Amino acid sequence: MTTLTLDSATGRPTVFETDESAVRSYSRAFPAVFTHAKGDLLVGEDGTRYIDFLSGAGTLNYGHNPDPIKDELIDYLRADGLVHGLDLSTSAKADFLEALRTHVLEPRGLGYKVQFTSPSGTNAVEAALKVARLATGRTNVIAFGGGFHGVSTGSLAATSSGYYRDGLEATLPQVTHIPYPDSPLGEFDSLDLLRRLLEDPSSGVDKPAAVLLETVQGEGGVWVAPVPFLQELRELCDRHDILLIVDDIQAGCGRTGAFFSFERAGIVPDLVTLSKSISGYGLPMAIVLIKPEYDIWRPGQHNGTFRGHQLAFVAATAALRHYWADDAFLRQIRTKADLVTDFLERRITQPFGASARGIGLMRALDLTGVPGVTAAAVSRRCFEKGLIIETCGRRDEVLKILPPLTVSQVNLSAGLNTLVDALVELNAERVSEVAA
Ligand code: PLP
């Protein structure tokens, strides 16, 4: 449903309605004009405070304007550090590379090279797909139903949603989609299918350069790939000399209760894409982590003017040093994740017949089993009550609970209670409509 935003002073349609492209989306679901944000709260121009269970679609894992990062940014700006740097060597970039190695890669035994791409997630996926194709000399890629990898042409080919592909199918490079091991249609033996496609020379599917997946599908409805599936997929890829690419753009940077979403399976992908929360402050930044043997780029072969957003490097370094130098932050995430799991089980899934799933602080409330109450209606009602929570899933049947990882326990509980209140109200309205 389109909601017309009216200027509160004049009562006329806002400049967003009159001047901004029809392609805008979040502003339709959350029709306020926002002026300030701090931590887990957003503030509208009329002073309304909203608890944030959206986190910039996974970009604000450390909340809005976190002080430890803000202070570093202010100091860097005051000192006239470079802001734009193409892919020049800079002190800000060196600090980031060292912090990533020290706090993330080395402790996990990972020896990746780091490629800086244009600063959107989709460009990191483009780069990963390109280098996998160049390294193997193959074109096809295996991706999964329910997967979301971006909307530029190369990544859109791997994104499964008909909504984004509609009308563009013929322009998209070769990708074969297979069902994910879990989805609204139930569990599926994806590995058996993949084995048949790879091991039957007459399967009709060209040997792929890579398998690309999210280990927890975000936009597709928060479906979690089982650990044995991930481990066997790694083995299958090794056996067939196929690269394994994990798109950790949404599920990475601590969201699932570990820095990388694949850590729980003990696997090492050949390529990893990161964006969204990697900069720590919502500043645009995207990288591809590449096993050295696949770093076969020629200089500048994948380039972009904004690969060197120095403020993003400064923020990213501060985030890594502040949150990832020890395990304290991870322990906090896991404690809050347990609180959410327990709350959903006690207060929502049992009383309302909804189902919950997810991992860490990436949780889904699936309303498929709740008659007459849509996720969009719940999201709207929550917004009226001061909670920002988005919908996802194949038919927008899922509410995605994605608070900042730094969310206070008070606001986490308040947000979850708002969700219950919205459900109670909508359910009561439905019952009274049926009775009338
Ligand atoms: N990959 C995943 C898993 C995502 O969730 C997204 C965005 O939601 C993207 C890629 C695309 O990132 P961007 O919107 O920055 O292009």
- Residue 4 is predicted with a pLDDT of 64
* Fold for the domain defined by 67-323: Aspartate Aminotransferase; domain 2 (3.40.640)
Contact status, residue 289 vs residue 272, Cβ threshold 8 Å: yes
Each residue's pLDDT tens digit, 103-146: 999 999 999 999 999 999 999 999 999 999 999 999 999 999 99
Contact status, residue 403 vs residue 415, Cβ threshold 8 Å: yes
Give the position of tokens 């380039």: 303
> Does 218 sit in the ligand 1 pocket, CB within 6 Å?
yes
CA of 46 to the centre of ligand 1 (A): 31
Local structure of residue 266 (DSSP, 8 states): T
Point out the ligand 1 atom lying closest to the alpha carbon of residue 123: 16
- Residue whose Cα lies nearest atom 7 of ligand 1: it is 150
- Name the CATH superfamily housing domain 32-65+327-435: Aspartate Aminotransferase, domain 1 (3.90.1150.10)
- Residue 9 is predicted with a pLDDT of 77
The chain-wide mean pLDDT, for the chain, equals 96
Each residue's pLDDT tens digit, 1-22: 445 677 777 888 899 999 999 9
Model-wide pTM > 0.95? yes
* Cα distance between residue 8 and residue 30, in whole Å: 15
Reply yes or no on whether the pLDDT at 157 is more than 50. yes
- Residue whose Cα lies nearest atom 12 of ligand 1: it is 121
- Residue whose Cα lies nearest atom 13 of ligand 1: it is 121
> Does 148 sit in the ligand 1 pocket, CB within 6 Å?
yes
CB atoms within 10 A of CB 424: 13
> Does 125 sit in the ligand 1 pocket, CB within 6 Å?
yes
> Does 120 sit in the ligand 1 pocket, CB within 6 Å?
yes
Lowest mean per-residue pLDDT among 11-25, 36-50, 245-259, 282-296: 11-25
> Does 247 sit in the ligand 1 pocket, CB within 6 Å?
yes
DSSP 333-386: HHHHHHHHHHHIIIIIIHHH--EEEEETTEEEEE-TTSTT--HHHHHHHHHHTT
Point out the ligand 1 atom lying closest to the alpha carbon of residue 120: 15
Query: Where in the chain are the domains?
Result: 32-65+327-435, 67-323
> Does 57 sit in the ligand 1 pocket, CB within 6 Å?
yes
> Does 149 sit in the ligand 1 pocket, CB within 6 Å?
yes
Local structure of residue 35 (DSSP, 8 states): E
Give the position of tokens 């090794």: 238
- Residue 1 is predicted with a pLDDT of 45
Point out the ligand 1 atom lying closest to the alpha carbon of residue 286: 15
| Residue in 24, 148, 151, 213 to alter for ligand 1 test, most ligand atoms within 8 A of Cβ | 148
> Does 390 sit in the ligand 1 pocket, CB within 6 Å?
no
Average pLDDT over residues 336-340: 97
> Does 366 sit in the ligand 1 pocket, CB within 6 Å?
no
Q: How far is CA 316 from CA 216, 276, 369, in A?
A: 23, 11, 41
* Cα distance between residue 232 and residue 312, in whole Å: 36
Reply yes or no on whether the pLDDT at 287 is more than 50. yes
Name the amino acid, one letter, at 210: A
